Structure 1
Amino acid sequence: MLEIFRELRGLLRVSHVHIDSWVFRLHYSVTTTCMFAFSLIVSAKQYVGNPIDCIHSKDIPEEVLNTYCWIHSTYTIPSAFWKRIGFDVAHPGVDKTLDPEERRYHKYYQWVCFCLFFQVRTHV
């Protein structure tokens, strides 16, 4: 009776098929490890250390302004990318404007660590 089960077990044995080479397996394991490490570093920087340093004057305390800058979004002005740096503008995309329609908002500070972590999860 046991002989029948042994023969059936031999028929149900699944062989492991590898459709990729050791180079690809090494690539996705190293990539996943690096992305996970970067996710931890960015998370530690955002939630343990000082996540952002805003340019400020002495009128407002540094901690208050950095918290405001991290929570709220920043913006650039597309027309300021083509002006002369050091003469017309201080940095590409930074300029004075009164028109809110001209501003392009960037909201990414808080989400970088989560995006990296979810990318790692999809590669595992």
Structure 2
Amino acid sequence: MKLRFLVVLSVLFLACDPDDEPAIADAALEGEWVLSQVVCYCGFEPDTDFSLTKVVFDTDRDLVTVTHDGGYTFFRESGEHFYGGQADRLGFSDNSVYRFEVEGSLLTLTFQDSTEIADDEVTFLFKR
């Protein structure tokens, strides 16, 4: 009886995988992306050049480098930012979380906003 219990317990222990939840699926993010559009409840001058903002994802180091060559700051401050997350979510040290989706040469980052505030939705569209 003890042997059967031990066998069942061993099988259950081996069947439990602590990594059942997938790690962040960020392989498609690798490389440089250029901001093409910001969609939000905010206004921009018609001649706003979003392409002056670039991000480079280093998925081996879980690092995104942001550069702004213009006067506006979009997405994050210039510099290196480490990220974590799970599945299709990117989380940063300031507790901001973005959902990401890569379709071909288009990257969509959507800020996961507070449900109590109706006007803080923002989506960043990047192209390779």
Q: TM-score scaled to structure 2, two decimals?
A: 0.27
Structure having the larger proportion of residues in helix? 1
Which structure has more RCO (C-alpha within 8 Å, separation ≥ 6)?
1
